[in-house]
C-alpha cells in the first residue's frame, strides 16, 4: 500500500466530472487499497478518486465512530444514487482537500446507492446518519462538487483564500526543505 498525496482546494482536478471505471482490475484494487490507507492515515472518514488526482468514479469510506470497534472499510465504484429521503440532516462537514475548515451542510438524511464492489459485483445499500452524509459528500467529489459549494459566496471565498495561503506556505516550506511543523 502506498500513501498518495491529497490534492488541496483550489485545484482544477477537484472541479471536474470523473469518468466511470470500465472494469475492476488489479490497478483499481491497488488504487482502492492506497485510497483506504491514505484515508486512515489522514485521518479521514471518506476519500474520493479526484482527491488523489485519479479522475475516476471511485470513493472509499469508513464512518465507524468508535475507535475500539472493528473498521468497516467500503469501496464504491461507479456509484449511483437510487433514492434520497425527503427528510434532511445538518452536519458540520470537513474535507481532506480543505483542511481544518468546517461548515454546516444540509443533505437528505438517508440515501440509497448502487455501486460496483471490488468483487466486480453490483451492490445496493441504504445509508443513514454519518454514513449518508459521507456517501453524498464523496459522491459529490466525483462530479466536481465540494461541500463549500453549498455555502454562501462570502464564506466560500474566505475558505478558498485560506487554502490558497496554506498552499503557498506548503510550497515555500517544500522549496526550502524546512521541516513542516
Least distance from C-beta 96 to Zn ion, angstroms? 6
Query: Known catalytic residue: 138?
Result: yes
Contact 99, 166 (CB under 8 A): yes
Return the number of the residue (78 or 133) whose C-beta is nearest Zn ion. Answer: 133
Query: 485519479: which residue's cell?
Result: 54
What part of residues 69-108 is at the interface with Zn ion (CB under 5 A)? Answer: 95
Size of the site for Zn ion (CB under 5 A): 1
Contact 93, 133 (CB under 8 A): yes
Least distance from C-beta 46 to Zn ion, angstroms? 7
Residue 115: closest CA among 126, 106, 107: 126
Return the number of the residue (24 or 139) whose C-beta is nearest Zn ion. Answer: 139
Least distance from C-beta 179 to Zn ion, angstroms? 27
Query: What one-character DSSP code corresponds to residue 74?
Result: E
Return the number of the residue (75 or 95) whose C-beta is nearest Zn ion. Answer: 95
Return the number of the residue (117 or 144) whose C-beta is nearest Zn ion. Answer: 144
Q: Beta strand 74-84 with 46-48: parallel, antiparallel or unpaired?
A: unpaired
How far does CA 55 lie from the centroid of its chain?
13
Q: Which one of 68, 104, 125, 138 is the catalytic residue?
A: 138
Strand partners, 126: 112
Applying CB under 5 A, does 6 fall inside the site for Zn ion? no
CA distances from 173 to 23, 38, 58, 167 (A): 40, 22, 32, 10
Binding site for Zn ion (CB under 5 A): 95
Q: Catalytic amino acids? A: 138
Amino acid at each position: 500500500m502506498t500513501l498518495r498525496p491529497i490534492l488541496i482546494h483550489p485545484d482544477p482536478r477537484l472541479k471536474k466530472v470523473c469518468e466511470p471505471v470500465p472494469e475492476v482490475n488489479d490497478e483499481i484494487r491497488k488504487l482502492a487499497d492506497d485510497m483506504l490507507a491514505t484515508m486512515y492515515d489522514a485521518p479521514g472518514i471518506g476519500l474520493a478518486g479526484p482527491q488523489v488526482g485519479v479522475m475516476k468514479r471511485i470513493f472509499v469510506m469508513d464512518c465507524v465512530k468508535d475507535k475500539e470497534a472493528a473498521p468497516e472499510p467500503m469501496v464504491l465504484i461507479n456509484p449511483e444514487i437510487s433514492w434520497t429521503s425527503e427528510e434532511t440532516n445538518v452536519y458540520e462537514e470537513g474535507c481532506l482537500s480543505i483542511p481544518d475548515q468546517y461548515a454546516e451542510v444540509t443533505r437528505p438524511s438517508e440515501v440509497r446507492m448502487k455501486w460496483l464492489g471490488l468483487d466486480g459485483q453490483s451492490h445496493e445499500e441504504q445509508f443513514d446518519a454519518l454514513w449518508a452524509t459521507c456517501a453524498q459528500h464523496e459522491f459529490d467529489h466525483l462530479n466536481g462538487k465540494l461541500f463549500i459549494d453549498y455555502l454562501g459566496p462570502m464564506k466560500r471565498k474566505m475558505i478558498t483564500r485560506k487554502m490558497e495561503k496554506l498552499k503557498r506556505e506548503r510550497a515555500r516550506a517544500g522549496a526550502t526543505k524546512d521541516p513542516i511543523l
